[in-house]
Amino acid sequence: MTNKVSKSKSAVRAAREAVKAAQRDVLERARRNGDDLAVFFSSQERLAGVDEWVETKIAGVRAQAEGKRADHRRAAGMALAALRDRGETIRDIAALTGIGEKAVRELIRYAEATLADSADRASGAAQAHEAAADESIAASSGGGAALGAPDGSLSATG
């Protein structure tokens, strides 16, 4: 019931070429899509990396800023403490500096606290150094190995 149409060889060849061309176009389009998607995903990963990098940098800058603020607070507090130590009252210092008495007291306390912390850390470091030196002396007097090479053998020069 269908009409039988004869197909010439050239018509079949033309049809196959058209199909092959269409398939090549589809494959080329898929290849380009794959390349563009690779660029997209790579860029997304890098974008996330940039966000992480920015957060790290911001945290570092904030830490530096806090350190600088602490240094300036300490210096200001030490200057105010020097005024107080020369006999100026907190009220007079507040009037001279243009800040409130509470702020004057806070800055002086901050400076004194950081100086005490620094002294404690320095004292702790000195004690640790002394303990290490004592251990070294005790080890060298115990076996005499300290007179030789680090491995305990006698050195060729000594």
DSSP 29-70: HHHHHHHHHHHHHHHHHHHHHHHHHHHHHHHHHHHHHHHHHH
**pLDDT > 70 fraction of the chain, expressed in percent and rounded:** 82
- Whether residue 139 lies inside any domain: the answer is no
Tens-digit pLDDT profile for residues 96-109: 999 999 999 999 99
The pLDDT of residue 116 is 83
The pLDDT of residue 6 is 76
- Whether residue 63 lies inside any domain: the answer is yes
The pLDDT of residue 121 is 74
Q: Over the range 37-72, which residues count as b (16 or more CB within 10 Å of their CB) and which as e?
A: eeeeeeeeeeeeeeeeeeeeeeeeeeeeeeeeeeee
- Whether residue 105 lies inside any domain: the answer is yes
- Whether residue 103 lies inside any domain: the answer is yes
- Whether residue 5 lies inside any domain: the answer is no
Q: Decide: helix, strand or coil at residue 4.
A: coil
Range of the domain at 40: 29-129
Please count the structural domains in the chain: 1
The pLDDT of residue 146 is 46
Tens-digit pLDDT profile for residues 124-156: 677 777 777 777 776 666 544 444 555 555 545
- Whether residue 147 lies inside any domain: the answer is no
Intervals of the chain under pLDDT 70: 1-5, 122, 124, 138-158
Q: What is the residue-averaged pLDDT of the chain?
A: 85
- Is the pTM higher than 0.75? no
- Whether residue 154 lies inside any domain: the answer is no
Residue with tokens 């001279």: 96
Q: Decide: helix, strand or coil at residue 76.
A: helix
Residue 78, C-beta contacts closer than 8 angstroms, at least 6 positions apart = 111, 115
Residue with tokens 């004869």: 6
- Whether residue 107 lies inside any domain: the answer is yes
Residue 97, C-beta contacts closer than 8 angstroms, at least 6 positions apart = 80, 104
Cα(156)–Cα(153) distance, integer angstroms: 9
The pLDDT of residue 74 is 97
